[in-house]
């Protein structure tokens, strides 16, 4: 039994370790919400679609650095500890957020502006590459017996607080400023708010204690040993990345892309689209710990398979129904349905990914798998969705991408589970 004192300490640790995770997701959400305004500021063209696409491609470019951060910073964390690594990632994330908040636009400094914005995104992506993995591994290592899914689910739940917070700021801005002023300069306000939170988040993360499991490791791998182990476990990492594809695609579709999709594609008001995003964040925050706990009771695989099948059969039909007669009610219903599928899948997937990685390179292996999924699939989902709609003149086409991602993840889950079962039968850790 866990004493009340131990329980309070674990709750405190969950809050502290998730704080930086909040900043990472807040930064990406704000960029996604104001992609159109950012495009007009840094990538002005005579074609509104081209400007938006360049902005979304820059949003996705940050994800290309995630695999690099996963390996390099993941090796640092596996060598020097979870606490030191998570402090470093927070500092890099803060730098990325501050850079875009203060960056002059194209009209002021020309081509230097989009170049520096891209650099800021790459730095942010480097740190984010290991943030999710570092937090997830930390939570898995402090979890009480039989509750690992519940504990690890708070990594994703903390991201939903960022979604809600960013959406609330967006709603306030929409109420206080006309759209012309938001597009001109108001979009910077959320980035300045995120920058102002950095000192507070850094102070509380310094209170983080190292995990007992890491401290118990008598031999800690060097960077070269981590890289070699990652190479040996590459098939598992690749399958893990494909298994994580559905999570990353769904997440960025129902959060970062929703305001742009609702206003630019469905012609709903920006306030309506932002309100839907707020509801999605609240729904995910409530559902993720429930689904994580459910995976502790029924197992990871049943949830993964069930949710993937639901995504395959309902992705395109749901968006077709929405596109046939766009409205606030339909957008809310579709997004909440997709959020339910996402929460069920993610609640089992994140913890399962920590369980299939070798302990000595758990952070690097997990982070690389998740970062590959985000870099290749999730981060470019808003840009890909925009392209698919323009290429086919069909506003429901993002639903086909959701179903395709779920199909790939389902196959990867089955292969990864079979491999894990074979290793367990052979007694291989």
Q: Roughly how many angstroms between the first and final C-alpha of the chain, as a whole number? A: 27
Report if residue 317 sits inside a domain. Answer: yes
pLDDT digits (tens, 9 = 90+) for 248-268: 999 889 987 888 888 889 999
The per-residue pLDDT for 407 is 97
The residue assigned the tokens 């007009």 is 40
> Which secondary structure element, helix H or strand E, spans residue 388, and what is its range?
helix 381-392
Report if residue 233 sits inside a domain. Answer: yes
The rounded distance, in Å, linking the Cα atoms of 70 and 314 is 33
The rounded distance, in Å, linking the Cα atoms of 209 and 181 is 44
Report DSSP letters for 210-241, one per residue: PPHHHHT-SS---HHHHHHHHHHTHHHHHHHH
The answer to whether 395 and 304 have CB atoms below 8 angstroms apart is no
The per-residue pLDDT for 146 is 85
Burial of 43 (0-12, 13-18, 19+ CB in 10 A): buried
Helix locations, 207-327, DSSP H: 212-215, 223-232, 234-254, 258-260, 270-298, 300-324
In terms of residues, how long is the chain? 429
Expressed as residue numbers, the domain containing 403 is 4-205+223-422
The CA angle 408-66-367, to the nearest 5 degrees, is 70
pTM comes to: 0.79
The per-residue pLDDT for 429 is 46
The rounded distance, in Å, linking the Cα atoms of 379 and 387 is 14
The answer to whether 369 and 240 have CB atoms below 8 angstroms apart is yes
Report if residue 132 sits inside a domain. Answer: yes
Question: DSSP assignment, residue 43?
Answer: S
The answer to whether 208 and 17 have CB atoms below 8 angstroms apart is yes
Burial pattern 96-110, b for ≥16 Cβ within 10 A else e, equals bbbbbbebebbeeee
pLDDT digits (tens, 9 = 90+) for 147-157: 888 988 888 88
Report DSSP letters for 63-129, one per residue: HHTHHHHHHHHHHHHHHH-HHHHHHHHHHHHHHHHHHHHH---HHHHTTHHHHHHHHHHHHHHHHHH
179: CB partners within 8 A, 6+ apart:
270
Total domain count, the chain: 1
Name the stretches of the chain with pLDDT < 70.
1-5, 20, 210-214, 217-221, 223, 360-361, 419-429
The rounded distance, in Å, linking the Cα atoms of 311 and 305 is 10
Report if residue 179 sits inside a domain. Answer: yes
Structure token pair of residue 274: 């932002």
Report if residue 71 sits inside a domain. Answer: yes
Question: DSSP assignment, residue 47?
Answer: -
Report if residue 174 sits inside a domain. Answer: yes
Report if residue 191 sits inside a domain. Answer: yes
The rounded distance, in Å, linking the Cα atoms of 371 and 247 is 12
CB atoms within 10 A of CB 426: 7
Closest CA to 211 of 151, 143, 138: 138
The residue assigned the tokens 């504990």 is 151
Report if residue 354 sits inside a domain. Answer: yes
Q: The domain that contains 107 carries what CATH number?
A: 1.20.1250.20
């Amino acid at each position: 039994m866990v004493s009340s004192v131990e329980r309070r300490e674990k709750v405190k640790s969950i809050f502290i370790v998730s704080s930086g995770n909040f900043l990472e997701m807040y930064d990406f959400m704000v960029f996604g919400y104001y992609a159109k305004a950012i495009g007009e500021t840094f990538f002005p063209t005579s074609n509104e679609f081209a400007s938006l696409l360049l902005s979304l491609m820059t949003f996705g470019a940050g994800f290309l650095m995630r695999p690099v951060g996963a390996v390099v910073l993941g090796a640092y964390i596996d060598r020097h500890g979870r606490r030191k690594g998570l402090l470093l990632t927070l500092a890099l994330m803060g730098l990325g957020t501050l850079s875009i908040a203060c960056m002059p636009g194209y009209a002021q400094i020309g081509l230097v502006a989009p170049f520096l914005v891209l650099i800021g995104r790459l730095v942010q992506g480097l740190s984010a590459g290991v943030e999710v993995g570092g937090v997830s591994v930390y939570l898995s290592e402090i979890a009480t017996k039989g509750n690992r899914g519940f504990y690890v689910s708070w990594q994703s739940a903390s991201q939903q607080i960022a979604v809600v917070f960013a959406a609330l700021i967006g709603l306030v801005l929409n109420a206080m400023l006309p759209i012309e002023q938001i597009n001109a300069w108001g979009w910077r306000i959320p980035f300045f708010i995120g920058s102002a939170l950095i000192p507070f988040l850094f102070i509380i993360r310094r209170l983080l204690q190292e995990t007992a499991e890491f401290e118990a490791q008598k031999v800690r791998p060097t960077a070269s040993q981590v890289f070699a182990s990652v190479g040996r476990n590459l098939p598992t990492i690749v399958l893990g990345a494909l298994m994580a594809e559905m999570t990353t695609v769904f997440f960025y579709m129902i959060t970062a892309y929703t305001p742009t999709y609702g206003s630019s594609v469905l012609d709903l008001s920006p306030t309506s689209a932002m309100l839907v995003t707020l509801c999605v964040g609240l729904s995910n925050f409530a559902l993720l710990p429930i689904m994580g706990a459910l995976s502790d009771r029924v197992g990871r695989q049943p949830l993964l398979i069930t949710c993937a099948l639901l995504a395959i059969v309902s992705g395109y039909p749901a968006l077709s129904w929405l596109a046939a007669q766009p409205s606030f009610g339909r957008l809310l219903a579709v997004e909440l349905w997709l959020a339910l599928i996402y929460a069920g899948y993610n609640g089992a997937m994140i913890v399962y990914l920590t369980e299939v990685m070798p302990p000595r390179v758990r952070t690097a292996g997990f982070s690389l798998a998740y970062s590959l999924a985000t870099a290749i699939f999730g981060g470019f989902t808003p840009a890909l969705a925009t392209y698919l709609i323009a290429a086919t003149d069909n506003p429901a086409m993002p639903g086909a991408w959701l179903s395709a991602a779920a199909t790939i993840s389902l196959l990867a889950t089955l292969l990864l589970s079979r491999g894990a079962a074979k290793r367990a039968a052979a007694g291989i850790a």
